[in-house]
Structure formats: structure tokens, C-alpha cells
Chain A
Amino acid sequence: MTAVTDAPAVPQRPRSRVWTKLRANPSALLGAVLVIFFVVVAILAPLLPIPGPLETDWLAVRKPPSAAHPFGTDEIGRDVLSRMVWGAQASLLAGVVSVLIALALGIPLGVAAGYARGWTDAVISRVTEALLAAPFLILAIALAAFLGPSLTNAMIAIGLSAMPVFIRLARGQTMTVMTEDYVESARAIGLSHLAIIWRYILPNIFPPLLVQATLTVATAIIAEASLSFLGLGQQPPSPSWGSMLNIAKNFLEQAPWMAMWPGIAIFLVVLGFNLLGDGLRDALDPRDH
């Protein structure tokens, strides 16, 4: 045993070091548990023993929580728990897809600006600054208004509004990586631009983008809920947490449970992504290595 303990420590690979730090952070773990819980619930929605989210029971209109309806029923007798579970799909989908849109557009533009510099950089940077000048939600509301109210358009609007942050981050990170010796060497041996970007730039700018993406999912979920609350996201009768709150605000006195559960769900899932994002940032912080 002693021999084993005294043996020189095997240096951990960066990925396992990040994983170890993440596992040692209780807040990040709590965040991961919350996120995984909601993802599992959203995926298993069709298999769960609950009524359909659109099934109405006119004999159970605005009934408080009971054994038959643990979260109560809504204004036309639909099961609130079922709508919460199916609403998780809309909220998580909106959060993830809009961030994927922002990443898909933001990374190529940011890397192009940081790699090519010159005019490419000037044009992309000015456009990014212009987009950043419009407050996120105002821009998303304006885009959703012009595109028309639907969950897909809300995702596009949120994705486009979140894109400038990723352009700026990818550009900054690319410029930092470009000064590294290994990029210089890759250029010296005559690798193509695409090969340099694929092999050396992208893998090295990934960690901060991952942190930002995790935190932006939280922002995007709130943005989708806000747009749906305003009637610009998921359209009735399909459930989403934001649209449920939009209806619930009209029945606050008669059925307060209708407003309570969707808000708690948004809070928990957003808290989960925020905790996970904070944990990832700490785990990936190079100053701690």
C-alpha cells in the first residue's frame, strides 16, 4: 500500500481534472441534478401515468391539488401536473435549441473575425456591437413580433438575440489562441486555414463557450417563458410554462396553484443551469490549475 501511496502522482488529464473539480463542488452537483431531473421528466413525458396535457374534464374545473390531480386543474379542467411535464419539453427545447442557433451562427462568425482580422473582423465586430446595443429581451420581442408568434419563431428570435455574445466570446478566444506557439507552428508547416481552425482553434476555445452556453440556456429558458407569457411563444392549447402563467394570472384569486407550479419549475430549472454554469466556470478556470 505504501508503495502505491508514495508513487509519484500521475498527472491528471485536463478533462478528468475538470470532472474531479466539478464533482467536488456541491452547488454544481445540485445544478446538474436539477437539470438532469427536468430533462428526464421532459423525455419520459409520454410514458408517465398522467392524463394528456390537452384532456379536459369539465367536472374538475379549477380544482385545488388532490390525489387525482396532485397539482390541481386549470380553467378548463386540464391536469396542471401533466401540462407542467409536457411544458418542460417546450421550455428545455427552447432553451437548448435557441442556444444551439446562437452557437451555430456565433462561433463561425467569431472565429472568422478573430482569425482573419482586418476587414472581416471590422465588419463582424461592428455588426455585433450594433446587435449588442439592443437589450436582449427587447430585441427578442421585436424579432418574435416580426417573425410571428410561435415556439419555433421564439427560439429563432432568442437564438439571434443571444448570438452576439457568442460572436464576441469566440472572437476574443480565437485571438488569444492565435498567439500560442502551436498555432504558429501549424502555420509554419503549411497547414490549411480550415485545418488550423478545426484542429487547434476550436478545441481550445471550447471551454469558455461551454460555460457561456450553459448560462445562456438559463437566460433563454426565462426569455422563452417571457415571450410565451406575452403570447409570443408557444401558442395555446400546447403547454409551456410561460403560457400557463399567462392564463394563470387571470385566475389568481380562484386558482392560485395554476400560477404557483410553472413559476417554481422555471425557477428550479434556471437555478440548475446557473449553478451548473457557475460550477463549470470554476472548474475550467485556468488560474486554478
Chain B
Amino acid sequence: MFGFLARRILIAIPTILLISIFVFTLQKLLPGDPVLAMAGEERDPEVLEFLRAKYRLNDPIHMQYFYWIGGALQGDLGISLRTQQPVLALIGEKLPVTIQLAVMALSIALVIGVPAGVISAYRKGTWVDWLANVVALSGLSIPNFWLGIMLILLVSVKWGLLPASGYVPLSEDPLQSLQTMIMPAFVLGTGLAATLMRHTRSAMLGVLKSDYVRTARAKGLGERVVVVKHALRNALVPIVTVTTLLFGELLAGAVLTEQIFTIPGFGKLVVDAVFNRDYAVVQGIVLCTAVAFIAMNILADAAYRILNPRMRDD
């Protein structure tokens, strides 16, 4: 396993380098002089020249890239123009909020998606299967920001059951934290539940046709044991892989969900950075999410090998 992980990490290095080039080039393609943006109202040529020298903007572009990536490798992704905080510190500050939202959303998705997929596969061709498929496809087609707006309208405005916005850290008041996060987590979780349902159904359909399930039935085992212990356990391999790969969807979904429910997380940081033209933050976010996405891919591969004994000897 160690050799496998080392190999995967080595393969990921050129990909990460390419992403860094892409992210760096994006900023360079921007129209206008970045020094003028930094200097604000200041137009003194000496000040502008000082800033150019300070940020090494007079150096050739490839040298500028090496300075930037050198800093990034040491955890220096630049300074936010808006808050004057280091970008990495900003990301580190907002990430726990989004992680809480993501964990809750994923839990909801697993609780709904996996059983629905199992039942749908087991009852293939019946109205239960049809209904599960319709609900799943609807879940994939509903824009989650609209679902969020509608839930705020019903649950918060009309019924007054849950707060419409805000965030309370889990460490401060766990109950209130869960109350503020349950609705956003549900909004974020529904689309993922639909994806998980479709993958679980597909995996279970394959497994239910297999010889070992037929053998288990022939041995006289109960249907519950056959489905849960024999079929689902084997279908879990692709389900775990897909769940790990849902990371990207979770992050993207969090951008809009946090915006609607005014949650001060990673997603809101993206939007605020975009509107304040805080490009160092946008660059840092794209780089960090890409690295995290690659790490999740490697984890998915590792999980696949751990869960699938046939892969371990390869």
C-alpha cells in the first residue's frame, strides 16, 4: 500500500504543477496594471516603482512564477487585498465551518441515498424502483440554491421552525449549531443523495445477479442477510469510491448554499473574494481545492484497494 500511495503522489505532482501554472497565468491575463490596483489612489511614479520592485513585477514572467510557487510551497499564498490577512490563514479560518456543513450534508446523503438505492435495486422494475428513480432524477435537477430559498420560505418564514441564516460554532453551542446547519446540510445533501442512490442502485443490480448471492440464497439464508451481509457489503466498494469523489460537488454546492444561508465558510469566502476582486484569495482557493481534490482521488483509490481484496496484490 505504501508503494501504491508513493506512486500515486508522484503522479500527482506534475498535475499540481500544471494547475499552479494555470492559476498563475489566470492572474497574468487580467487586463490592467496590478500595481495600480494595489496602490489605490496613489499615483506617485516612485511609489509605483517601489511596489513593482517589491513584488518583483519587473522580473521575467517565468521568474515571477518561480517566486510565487516557491512561496506557495512554503504556505505563502499571498495576502488578501481586502482583509490584509495571509490567504492560507483565511482559508484555514473558514474551512472548519464548511467541513461541518459537508460532513452533515454527506451524512444526510448517505442515510437517504444508500438505502434508497438498495431498495430500488432489490425491487427493480416495480413502482418503488420507478418512484426512487424519479425522486433521484428530480434531486439532480433541482438547483440547490432554489431549494434553499424555498425551504427558507416554508420552514423559516411561514412556519418559524428553524433559523433562516447565521452560524453558531459547534464548540460554542452544539444544539444551536445543529439547528442553524440542518437546513443548509439538507439542501446540500439532496443532490448528493440522488447521485449516491443512482450509484448504489447500479452497484447493487450487478451484485444481486452474482453467483455468491445465488449461493447464499440456495443455502437458505434470509433475504435480509443476503441483501445486507452479502450483496451490500460487496456493492460498498464503488459506493465508498463515489462518496470520496463527491468532495468536488460538496465544495461547489457549498459556495451557493453558504451564500443563501449566510454561513461564513469557504464557499462564502470564494464569492466575497470574487466580488472584491481579491484575486490572491481566488487563486489560493482554486489551488487549494485542486490539491484537496487530488488528495481525495488518491484516498478513493486507496479505499478501493482496501475494500477490494483482489486489487491488493496488483
Contact = CB atoms under 8 A, between A and B. Distances in A.
Given A126-B18, A134-B290, A135-B251, A230 B259 contact: yes
B152 interface: yes
B256 to A, nearest CB: 6
Given A133-B290, A253-B157, A266-B146, A138 B26 contact: no
A174 B60 CA distance: 40
| B: contact size bracket | 35 or more
A145 interface: yes
Given A141-B274, A253-B157, A130 B145 contact: no
Interface string B80-119: 0000000000000000000000000000000000000000
Interface stretch (B39-47, B135-143, B181-189, B304-312): B135-143
B249 interface: yes
B145 A271 contact: no
B29 interface: yes
Contacts of A222: 143
Contacts of A138: 248, 251-252, 255, 270, 285-286, 289
A137 B137 contact: no
Contacts of A262: 146
A270 interface: yes
A267 B271 contact: no
B46 to A, nearest CB: 30
Nearest to B137: A274
Interface string B257-283: 001100000000011011101010010
Nearest to B293: A133
A77 interface: no
Given A135-B248, A226-B143, A126 B14 contact: yes
A229 B260 CA distance: 10
A222 B252 CA distance: 12
Nearest to B29: A146
B142 A267 contact: yes
Which residue of B26, B30, B252, B253 has the most chain A CB atoms within 10 A of its CB atom?
B252
A135 B157 CA distance: 33
Given A129-B15, A259-B150, A267 B286 contact: no
Interface stretch (A35-43, A103-111, A244-252): A244-252
A139 B286 contact: yes
A222 B149 CA distance: 15
B120 to A, nearest CB: 15
B270 A263 contact: no
A261 to B, nearest CB: 10
B153 interface: yes
A229 B267 CA distance: 14
A136 B256 CA distance: 13
A139 B19 CA distance: 11
A87 to B, nearest CB: 13
A172 interface: no
A256 interface: yes
Contact of B146 (A133, A134, A146, A267): A267
Nearest to B248: A135
Nearest to A143: B26
A102 interface: no
Contacts of A136: 248, 252
A159 to B, nearest CB: 16
B60 to A, nearest CB: 22
Nearest to A246: B145
A226 to B, nearest CB: 6
A201 interface: no
Nearest to B270: A141
Which residue of A127, A138, A248, A270 has the most chain B CB atoms within 10 A of its CB atom?
A138
Contact of A245 (B18, B146, B273): B146
Given A138-B251, A230-B256, A270-B141, A252 B289 contact: no
Nearest to B198: A278
Interface in B148-199: 149-150, 152-153, 157
Nearest to B14: A126
B152 to A, nearest CB: 6
A270 B260 CA distance: 21
Nearest to B266: A138
A241 to B, nearest CB: 9
A226 B145 contact: yes
A200 B294 CA distance: 36
Nearest to A270: B141
Contacts of A274: 137, 140-141
A191 interface: no
Interface of A: 126-127, 129-131, 133-139, 141-146, 218, 222, 225-226, 229-232, 245, 248-249, 252-253, 256, 259-260, 262-263, 266-267, 270-271, 274-275, 278
Q: Which 3 residue pairs across A and B have the least CB separation, nearest first? A: A263-B146, A137-B252, A135-B248
9 contacts: A130-B19, A133-B290, A134-B289, A138-B252, A141-B274, A146-B26, A260-B150, A266-B143, A270-B143
Interface of B: 14-16, 18-19, 22, 26-27, 29-30, 137-138, 140-143, 145-147, 149-150, 152-153, 157, 247-249, 251-253, 255-256, 259-260, 270-271, 273-275, 277, 279, 282, 285-286, 289-291, 293-294, 297
Given A133-B15, A225-B145, A230-B255, 20 more contacts: A130-B290, A133-B16, A133-B294, A133-B297, A134-B290, A135-B247, A135-B251, A135-B252, A136-B252, A142-B282, A144-B274, A225-B143, A226-B145, A230-B256, A248-B149, A259-B150, A260-B150, A263-B143, A271-B137, A274-B137
